[in-house]
Chains A and B, each alone.
Chain A
Amino acid sequence: MADSVVFGPGFWGPIIATASMLLIAGAGYLLILASRRISPRRPTSEKLTTYACGEDVSPSQTRPDAEFFFSPIRRVFRPFYRYIGAKHTGELSLYVWWVLIGALVLVVLTAHGLGVL
């Protein structure tokens, strides 16, 4: 087992890595600038308008819902949200129950950890 970790020196030391990342980010930004020069933006009023089904949509209506922002991840973890997420109700009695249940489970696990069980 290692006593500690040594960050750098060496080729992948943090300063070299940071400089490389900044360099790559800078190069990426230059590419964007170059692409704008080759293909300049030509905004029109129609392009700048948000619309759906032929109707103009106001900025406040174009916002994604914060709760469902990552709905695919929600679907993947559906059992979690159904059985555990739903327990976060804000009810104090439920909080206290969880503390007591957690304490009982911890007694067993601690006993196991200390080699008693």
Chain B
Amino acid sequence: MIPHAPILAVFLPLLAAFVLPLVSLLERRYKIPLAKEWVSAIFVIAEVMVVFSVFPDAKSSVVAYQLGGWAPPLGIVLAIDALSALAALIIVTVGALVFIYSFIYMRRESGVEHYYALLFLLLGGCVGVVFTGDIFNFYVFFEIMSIASYALVAFRRHLWGIEAAIKYLIVGSLGTSFILLGIVFLYGRFGTLTMANIMELMGQVAARDLVIPLTCFLVGIGIKVAMVPFHFWLPDAYQGAPSPVSAFFSGATATVGVYAIARIVYVLFGAASVGSLLVVLGLITMVVGALMALVQRDLKRLLAYSGISQMGYVLVGLGLGTALGIQGALFHIFNNAVYKTLLFMLVGAVIWRVGTSRMDELGGLWKNMPITAFMFLLGSLAIAGIPPLNGFASKWMIYLAGIEYGGWGYVVTAIALIVSALTLAYFLKALSSVFLGQRPSHLANVKEPPAAMLLPAMVLAVLCVVFGVLPQLGVDLVEPAQRAISDLNGYIVGVMGG
């Protein structure tokens, strides 16, 4: 591990967010071409290296980093176990690819230095949420992440983007207020903010005293992961945001939400008994998302609803609570990050070339954009759970977990299978509407986007195939995280000491 890697992983993106406006000033004054892009690239590469260096250590034990040398519970501690490391790995990988994609996609926009600064703030907030071992810092980083998100949705200052950002701001603030309220209840009860310390004391409290704080967290995080009925903000926000931002939201921010559910419900509260609640909410989320996606006219809204639906699978896997179910859920969130980021990048490529994401105005683009179209086909098949792509492997694990559970687990598997068929249906509609059929005459001269925009998408498309053909790689990747969720004592000892 790189020395001080845990704090560097949080500090580097925040530093970048403040350095970039200065770099932009120098770029304008001294006419240095692409200075902010180069500086962004350097910071992103450094961030990826730092987070990847933590992963091997965190896989086997909890990496506890005490800020200022103050031991918990007095001091603030960054606590990185395999679950945090997996989430951070997904976040920085998606983040790095989105940055590369943005270098071309955003060059037509003005005020790009603010865009990169906000994206770094978002990245820093995400990494902070998954690395912190302190519940109040969890809230602070959650707010940093959320505020950066609101600003990014409104970045283009289009009417619909601003409207979506205001809706997201109000609903998101309601969510973070619920989280803060939950923290207040916990602090009032336990007198500490260190998660491991709260876990130690949790056994001394009657279950009825945990109902309100746990509900507050579930609502707050439920809004972030767009669990039905807290999902309404998401399609507007994804549609209003620039495509790279939507890609980041669907890949990285969604991962943070799932991490938060696993960390708070299973690890902090040790409340595996609410698993059946998560399964029910997951099933509703899965079905509502799929049925709404089926009737969308706009590609980005379709992808947004499909993201809601996929989150349902993750909630179901987590809620089943078995080793297989949790592994399936974690593998699915990894896969979801891969193909949803890919699909948003490809839709962004279409918008970049054509100027619209309305399916009724598109068609026949396979001839013009064969690489984009082929990758969209791959992503669509992956998200629908068609073998031999990665979505199949994680969905298969969730199906098996349902069957293994027995009883109503069979019903869960049956619904999940039907929703997979619906997913295939609406992605075939998207593929047919955008890339097949007759091409409107005004689209005759449309070309592929530049290679630098296609490259990150290609990386993700390759991952779809690799983790589909070699799914054991994915299982091996998520297995330590699943063990970390189950090993509450290991987390407490790792943070608080023997």
Which residues of A does B touch, CB under 8 Å?
A: 1-8, 14-15, 17-18, 21, 50, 59-60, 62-70, 73-74, 77, 80-81, 84-85, 88, 90, 92, 94-96, 98-99, 101-103, 106-107, 109-116
Contact = CB atoms under 8 A, between A and B. Distances in A.
Interface on chain A toward B: helix, strand, loop, or mixed SS?
helix
A109 to B, nearest CB: 5
10 contacts: A14-B468, A69-B433, A70-B425, A81-B295, A85-B291, A90-B236, A107-B211, A110-B211, A111-B208, A114-B211
B230 A88 contact: no
A85 B359 CA distance: 20
Interface string B460-478: 0000000011111001000
A70 B429 contact: yes
A15 B469 CA distance: 6
B356 interface: no
B211 A99 contact: no
Nearest to A8: B472
Contacts of A65: 360
Contacts of A85: 291-292, 295
Interface in B181-221: 207-208, 210-212, 214-215, 218-219
B294 interface: yes
Contacts of A6: 472, 475
Interface stretch (B85-93, B434-442, B490-498): B434-442
Nearest to A94: B232
Nearest to B174: A99
Given A88-B292, A114-B210, A14 B229 contact: no
Nearest to B276: A113
A107 B212 contact: yes
Contacts of A17: 387-388
B347 to A, nearest CB: 14
B288 interface: yes
Interface centre among A73, A84, A94, A110 (most CB of B within 10 A): A110
B273 A115 contact: yes
Interface string B64-75: 000000000000
A96 B215 contact: no
B233 interface: yes
B322 interface: yes
Interface string B279-299: 010000000100110111100
Q: Range of interface residues on chain B?
A: 35 or more
Nearest to B305: A88
A114 B265 CA distance: 11
A21 B388 contact: yes
Among A101, A106, A109, find the residue whose CB has the most chain B CB atoms closer than 10 A.
A106
B420 to A, nearest CB: 14
B315 to A, nearest CB: 13
Contacts of B223: 99
A66 B232 contact: no
A6 B411 CA distance: 24
A84 B288 CA distance: 8
B344 interface: no
A98 B230 contact: yes
B400 A5 contact: yes
B211 A5 contact: no
Contacts of A81: 291, 295
A114 B214 contact: yes
Interface string B361-396: 001100000000000000000000001100001001
B322 A69 contact: no
Interface stretch (B11-19, B118-126, B163-171, B252-260): B163-171
A4 B433 contact: no
B230 A2 contact: no
Given A4-B475, A111-B211, A114-B210, A66 B324 contact: no
Give me the 6 closest cross-chain CB pairs, A-B, nearest first.
A59-B438, A113-B274, A18-B388, A66-B359, A95-B232, A102-B229
A4 B422 contact: no
A6 B474 CA distance: 11
A62 B426 CA distance: 19
B465 to A, nearest CB: 9
A96 B167 CA distance: 9
B295 A114 contact: no
A7 B388 contact: no
B439 A59 contact: yes
Given A66-B360, A69-B429, A106-B215, A113 B292 contact: no
A7 B469 CA distance: 10
B207 A116 contact: yes
B277 A66 contact: no
A116 B208 contact: yes
B415 to A, nearest CB: 13
Contacts of A5: 324, 327, 396-397, 400, 475
Given A62-B438, A101-B229, A4 B388 contact: no
B400 A102 contact: no
Given A7-B475, A59-B441, A73-B422, A96 B388 contact: no
